[in-house]
A and B are shown apart, each in its own frame.
Chain A
């Protein structure tokens, strides 16, 4: 139909696209590629900078530091994936950190009581999934806001962790196989980071290339429309919380492998950094929307920044501040690029 081809920018925003057909895809073109890779390029630039800067050139570009840097991101990375899945459909899961902690503690506990490794993994995943299921059920059946629900379950889980451990870390009886898996490399890449890569690939495939993932994005984009085209919003939300729980359980298991045990207060400290990375994901790879690879880039970016500043002898509080500023600046940049893209599309 052709009535809109001589359209005003405001009244018919799509008109330029209409005229030039393919041209205005919103996802192609040089400018767009640069936009998508900005954060990754900034990260590379930061690495180069810390590699040559006098303060850090001796310590930053070493194999040991790189390995530690990557291995340290595995738990955070999987926790970020856990947060990302519900976030895609506009749901906030604030309990990922606490759930991760509870899964880790229970897995460590059964290990310390002599259970075999597969059983411990099953426990971690089951505990995580159960937490997610409770979140999802209360949100969908009880119609309570997810922020409130997950804030509540986070407190419950944290309490449970303290009850189970009596505040003491569990470090006895962790199989040495697990610990050595957690501290060694394959082909020079830390094993734990490889686990993160595998899980990220899986999440990416499901979110970007399976119908269910597109349904989650659709739900996040317009819930009423999702209902009207016959999707089942409640079911999708429930599924996203269970998936988040499963991933939190996996992250808990990785934490046991990384630290050789489980200490009661570590889990919840992951929630905020993981949210930071999840939000920052909208600034990379697929600007304007939360996405898996954007999250991985964001995690590495934040980690490089922190590691470099640490090695330069900067006080930890300074690096916290820099991290916070980087997060807000990154997300603001993403929002700005998004607006500019829209303006360009609307031709004004």
Chain B
């Protein structure tokens, strides 16, 4: 790295032997980590390996049970480390959970947790606050107004505000640590690229950046060093020269990836009648959408953010009002009602799992919610034991890492929550399976497993429609891809000989 400000080997933060246990899980089991000035340090690991727990321990918002944190010259007991200590030491965070305030304005969001511009009487000076906010937004090229409420912004812009907040309060060049926990999960490709190049600039100024991601191409692109966690311990560290895709995968999954090929599925018989027909669907930006979805076929929806992918899935799932003619098994589907869609055999997994989980309920409750009639017994009572048994089977079948089927959904790592929600819908044996970014935030091991599960669902007779911003994923998973540009279908291509680059070329086609 071209580090001018500091010697590259200077250690800014060292964590030693961090331990953190939750009831039923040891999240960190003696993790040590050194962060050097001027480096981008990628922190990798499967879902539930302890990355976010480590982040929160460094932030002091959820202190470790024991261990030591060395910040510059000061040594702290990690179990009594506070957010103020972290702030003082120049540590800044973008956490995995959305950590912005929907009811407050952008200007306020930038100030809460950092600093308000205040006048002599301790009162907030709003004009100065807004000017400061505007300067930050300009500097980090976030295209929003300081007066806008966060709830009015897109997920991507909300993420950008959280990132700008963390970056803006960094002190002078050549110091400070920035930790980003899956910041690109909800960012479109171009914003993600922009972020990556900004990060490289900050690192070059002498800061230390911890970058957590499941997207290996990003890691290969920017990481100077990699630490991989597995089951709460450091599975290995790699220096720049040692980093390559296969090594990373081996460290993350602790063995070989399970490559169950798409070829396992029987080829579609030509002329299979479609299970689902869509004619003239209009919803949000999407207009005049015609689709035929055959049972056993996996169709990909490719397109930029804003091309209408999510709208189409939401419309078919009944979650958004829409116009058009849709039939499932030749019967017309009433649009605009999730209940009607479910009754017709449609299962819809939206993009933001935050909208779909009952987080303060057990996995059993979350899984049973959509198949309650199965567990109904006389007098309207519920067969708890049956529901728990089914939950246990789903948990092991989908490889969910959880203490038990009675664990609360909120205690699972992000990727494991996604598996639970997918399992919830697949147990209904849907006719039409709608998946919006099904592997967002899911580790590569689990991703391969999820793909296998989706293929199995298709082989079982479901028509599958998958939207993803990841061209690699679509090409690997789907039989054919439908490309959306500005709300209309611009191309339809079989995936057999398609490469991710071809698909990207199509999606960016007329976008400028």
* Contact surface of A with B, Cβ cutoff 8 Å: 1-15, 17-19, 21-28, 205, 209-211, 214-215, 217-218, 220-222, 224-231, 288-289, 342, 345-346, 348
Q: Please state if B188 and A220 are interface contacts (CB–CB under 8 Å).
A: no
* Bound complex: CA A217 to CA B486 (Å): 38
- Answer whether A228 and B93 are a contact pair too, CB < 8 Å, given A1-B194, A211-B124: yes
Contact B98 A4 (CB under 8 A): no
Query: Are A2 and B143 within 8 A (Cβ)?
Result: yes
Contact B105 A11 (CB under 8 A): no
Distance between A224 CB and nearest chain B CB, rounded to angstroms: 6
Q: Which residue of A lies closest to B192 (CB)?
A: A3
Q: Is the CB of B305 within 8 A of A3?
A: yes
Closest CB of chain A to B138's CB: distance in Å? 11
Residues of B within 8 A of A217 (CB): 101, 103-104, 108
Chain A residues with Cβ below 8 Å from B153 are 13-14, 17
CB distance A3 to B100 under 8 Å? no
Residues of B within 8 A of A (CB): 56, 59-61, 83-84, 86-87, 93, 95, 97-105, 108, 111-113, 116, 118, 122-124, 126, 141-145, 147-149, 151-158, 160, 165, 187-191, 194-195, 284-286, 304-311, 314, 320, 486-487, 511
Q: Which residue of A lies closest to B156 (CB)?
A: A4
Q: When chains A and B are docked, how far (Å) is the Cα of A348 from the Cα of B142?
A: 23
Report whether B511 and A17 are in contact in the complex, using a CB–CB cutoff of 8 Å. no
Task: Add 8 more A-B contacts to A11-B155, A18-B144 (CB < 8 A).
Answer: A6-B511, A8-B308, A17-B145, A17-B152, A24-B145, A27-B147, A228-B56, A230-B113
Please determine whether B157 and A4 come into contact, CB atoms closer than 8 angstroms.
yes
Given the contacts A230-B60, A231-B113, A12 and B284 also touching, CB distance less than 8 Å: no
User: Whole-angstrom distance from the CB of B102 to the nearest CB of chain A?
Assistant: 6
Q: Note all chain B residues with C-beta closer than 8 A to A225.
A: 97-101
What are 16 A-B contacts with C-beta separation under 8 Å? Answer: A1-B191, A1-B194, A3-B188, A6-B306, A8-B305, A8-B306, A9-B311, A11-B154, A11-B306, A17-B148, A26-B105, A27-B105, A209-B123, A210-B122, A218-B108, A229-B165
Known interface pairs A4-B156, A225-B97, A230-B84. Does A12 touch B149 (Cβ–Cβ under 8 Å)? no
Cβ 8 A contact of B306, one of A7, A218, A227 = A7
Bound form: Cα–Cα A80–B120 in Å: 30
B87 neighbours in A (Cβ, 8 Å): 230
Q: Which residue of B lies closest to A14 (CB)?
A: B153
Chain A residues with CB under 8 A of B487: 8
Q: Which residues of A contact B320 (CB under 8 A)?
A: 10
Q: Kindly list chain B residues whose C-beta atoms are within 8 Å of the C-beta of A17.
A: 143-145, 148, 152-153
In the complex formed, the residue of A with least CB distance to B140 is A1
List the A side residues contacting B124 at CB < 8 Å.
209-211, 214
Residues of A within 8 A of B308 (CB): 8, 11
Contact residue among B151, B165, B188, B195 (Cβ-Cβ distance under 8 Å from A342):
B151
Q: Say whether A214 contacts B116, CB under 8 Å.
A: yes
Interface centre among A14, A23, A220, A226 (most CB of B within 10 A): A14
Tell me the bound Cα distance from A7 to B284 in angstroms: 10
A3 touches B190 (CB 8 A): yes
Chain A residues with Cβ below 8 Å from B157 are 4, 12, 14, 18
Which 4 A-B pairs rank lowest in CB-CB distance, beginning with the nearest? A229-B113, A230-B83, A7-B306, A3-B190
- Residues on B with beta carbons closer than 8 Å to the beta carbon of A222: 98-102
**Chain A residues within an 8 Å CB radius of B148:** 14, 17, 24-26
A26 and B147 in contact, given A7-B306, A10-B284, A211-B124 (Cβ under 8 angstroms): yes
- Which chain A residues lie closer than 8 Å to B284 at the CB level? 8-11, 348
CB distance from B150 to the nearest CB of A (A): 8
Identity of the chain A residue whose Cβ is nearest the Cβ of B112 in the assembled complex: A218
A206 shortest CB reach to chain B, Å: 9
* Chain A residue nearest to B56 in the complex (CB): A228
Tell whether, in the assembled complex, residue B104 and residue A214 are in contact, meaning their CB atoms are under 8 Å apart: yes
A40 to B438, CA, bound (A): 49
| Residues B305 and A11 in contact, CB atoms below 8 Å apart | yes
- Which residues of A lie under 8 Å from residue B111 when comparing CB positions? 211, 214
Known: A4-B191, A18-B144, A227-B61. Contact between A11 and B108, CB under 8 A? no
**Chain B residue with the shortest CB-CB distance to A208:** B124
A6 cross-chain contacts in B, Cβ below 8 A:
304, 306, 486, 511
B contact residues around A211 at 8 Å (CB) = 111, 116, 118, 124
From the candidates B56, B112, B158, B309, name the one contacting A214 in the complex (CB within 8 A).
B112
